[in-house]
Amino acid sequence: MRFLTVKLLAATALSLTLAACVPGTTMPAATPVAAQPPIPADNTAHYAGVTDDGFTVPTVPVEKVPADFQVQQVAYESGEAVGTIIINPAERHLYFINGKNTALRYGIAVGRAGFQWAGVANITSRTHWPKWTPPPEMIERSPEKAKWKDGMPGGPENPLGARALYLTTNGVDYGYRIHGTPEWFSIGKNASSGCIRMINQDVMDLYNRVQDGAKVVVLNADGSYPDKLKLPPPAPKKKKPAPASVTPAAAPAPVLSATPTVLPGATTLPAATTLPAAPTAPAVDTMAAPAPAAAAATAPATTAPATTAPATTAPAATAPAATAPVATPPAATAPATTPAPSTCTVPLVNGVCPQS
């Protein structure tokens, strides 16, 4: 008998030694949770405003929350132990097993399209008025949340609400939580990024009932029991813009120049030439042309006195130069020795008085 006792003690010591060799293994308490009293049928008092840790939790208008999503005691068949949480995303309900085939049912909001998940997890910690830190993926989707990259302090406006229950699967934290929300109107909808939302008053009640290490089962979309952890596919990463060097540079705009460019084989047009103005009295020119010859033939004797006339007639010769400069070419053909009449009352034409 004594030998059997010593052998039993040795086996016990060995089993304890092997258990200590498993790193990071937490053995949850096996003590079942005592059944909690059900929530009263009249939820007005349950959803009334309350002061908690110095923060005010506003009253929830019960008349605006569908009765199906208000907390209530229901019959629920399950083989899970008392204290287990079962979440049915398709129904938007969370069941807290509080007796044999009975549960407290709370309304919840679940992940929207692309964020649903299923599997078994454990509650590894619980927090009052938790700090919220958006993950990098959320900041990428909503850049305005970057201001909270180091964490948003707990408070009535915090997305995690008054309480948070942190979930891990096989010791891995995938970022999923059961938490409160100030947006009570989102309950009953697919509104989150995978977390389970509850009305603040409901999550405060659940916080007081559940224990650390409690089992949490998130059912498949069809309501069946999950056989493994099923996570949503990772969001596609945004394509980075192409480097600036790859983008072809825009062609430079042509620069207009005042200096003409002569192309090969092209002929440069001459500059425009200003044509001389037409003579003011061409008819007089043609008719007066014979006058000098006639004067020279009929009055040769009168040419001698003409030598004294330039002193008096010279001013008259300047008048046509000012009024009709275009007549200068024909002036070269007129005889230089042709004397001007001693008196002429009109301007000379080619050095000849038109009246002679």
- Which are the catalytic amino acids? 179, 195
Could you give the 3-state DSSP secondary structure of residue 153?
A: coil
Q: DSSP states of 216-266 as a string?
A: EEE--TTSPPPSS-BPPPPPPPPPPPPPTTTSPPPPPPPPP-SSPPPPTT-
CA–CA dist 65, 199 (Å, integer): 10
**Cα of 86 vs its chain's centroid, Å:** 41
Sign of the torsion angle spanned by Cα atoms 187, 190, 193, 194: positive
Between vectors from CA 125 to CA 120 and to CA 126, what angle results, nearest 5°?
A: 110
Contact between 168 and 124 (Cβ < 8 Å) = yes
Cα-based angle 275, 277, 283 (whole degrees, multiple of 5): 130
CA distance 201 to 43: 11
